[in-house]
DNA sequence: TCATATTAGTTTAATGTTGAACTATATGAT
DNA sequence: ATCATATAGTTCAACATTAAACTAATATGA
């Protein structure tokens, strides 16, 4: 079953690339799903922990931008992570509108323990591409992603 | 703000490509969002209508696979489209487990009317890439997507 | 033929997600 | 100082999504 679009060659080319792009992204995400479920985390929760591990403490708004979710959603995600004792929120002294979110010891241990396996799963997924192809894919995707919002 | 991962060069390469891939897919989807909202459709509903337009009548299971949602979700999506008078369900004569879903006249007019603009938005998004780059991106994504489930 | 397994679709409960209205804090111009 | 504006985060209601249990129809094969 193959999707076929009518239209100009330009449109066919763009749409074909778009469908492939979506499916590729989904298939890699699917490859990491099981691991995240096993840790009793939602994808959003995992995304927050991962961002904090690699970037250090962040405010809710930055986290929302990082994991591509709404601000309102982040309130809940952070709340649930806090209930699980994986992150802590502290008001920022210089501007009390901001809440700085950071990993607790428990949270850091969890995500740091998961990450190597997570990285390996993604590495395996991308293993069908040569290093050069991976770099080219990244370049093309960055060009595409940067052009919009 | 740039995400930086520690790890082997192989892991860094794969993770970098993965992040770029996700963001590229999201940014193109975002470019089409407004148009879909204006038509009072959810992304899933739009996906179903689009699939029916290009592929003809399909059963719920095939639609689920096409738009990457669960079977249970498709029950609701199709139900809502039926309520709006955009699709119709009919049991298949030879195997009554299957429900064939097809566009109504109204549904066909709606999606056929939307699609040119939709295609143009995607075409514009991909316009930052040359035709050759678009084809290369598609090739790489297909290779990546096909390798998994 | 009958039991078993398989498959398509539905139902249900739990949860995630969003946009919009809202609160609290900070900034800037006059 | 003060008023308007902007920004971070929260709340809320509506809705989407999923996994799992379920029903109905079909296929299989002893």
Residue A1 covered by a domain: no
Domain contains A27: yes
Task: Name the residue facing A135 among B13, B18, B128 (closest C-beta).
Answer: B13
Q: A125 vs B14: CB contact, 8 Å cut-off? A: yes
Q: Give the pLDDT of residue B1.
A: 44
> Is A4 within the bounds of a domain?
no
Q: Please list every residue in chain B whose beta carbon sits closer than 8 Å to the beta carbon of residue A120.
A: 11
- Position B7 scores a pLDDT of 80
Q: What are phi and psi of A7, to 5 degrees?
A: 135, -175
B71 within a domain of the structure (yes/no): yes
Residue B146 falls inside a structural domain: no
Least confident of A1-15, A55-69, B54-68: A1-15
Q: What range does the domain containing A133 cover?
A: 9-144
Share of chain B above pLDDT 90, in %: 90
Residue pair A138/B14 in contact (Cβ under 8 Å)? The answer is no
Does residue A87 fall inside a structural domain? yes
Per the domain annotation, does B3 fall within a domain?
no
- Residue B137 maps to a domain: no
Total count of domains within chain B: 1
CA distance B100 to B91: 6
CATH at B81: 1.10.10.10
B39: which residues sit within 8 A by CB, 6+ positions away?
B46, B110, B114
For A76-86, what is the mean pLDDT? 96
Measured CA to C1', the nucleotide nearest A43 is C16
- The span from the CA of B49 to the CA of B87, in Å, is 8
Residue ranges in chain B modelled with pLDDT below 70: 1-5, 147-149
Q: Which residues of B35-66 are buried (b: 16+ CB within 10 A; e: fewer)?
A: ebeeeebeebbbbbbbbbbbeeebbbebbbeb
| pLDDT tops 70 at residue A4 | no
Cβ contact B106 with chain C strand, < 7 A = no
């Amino acid at each position: 079953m193959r999707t076929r679009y009518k239209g100009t060659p330009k449109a066919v080319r763009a749409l074909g690339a778009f469908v492939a792009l979506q499916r590729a992204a989904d298939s890699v995400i699917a490859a990491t799903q099981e691991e995240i479920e096993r840790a009793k985390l939602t994808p959003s929760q995992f995304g927050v922990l991962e961002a904090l591990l690699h970037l250090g403490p962040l405010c809710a708004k930055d986290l929302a931008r990082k994991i591509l979710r709404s601000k309102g959603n982040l309130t809940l995600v952070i709340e649930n992570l806090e209930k699980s004792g994986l992150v802590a929120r502290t008001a920022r002294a210089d501007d009390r509108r901001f809440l700085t979110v950071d990993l607790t010891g428990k949270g850091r241990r969890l995500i740091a323990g998961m990450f190597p396996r997570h990285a390996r799963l993604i590495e395996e997924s991308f293993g069908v591409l040569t290093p050069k192809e991976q770099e080219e894919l990244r370049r093309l995707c960055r060009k595409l992603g940067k052009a919009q919002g």
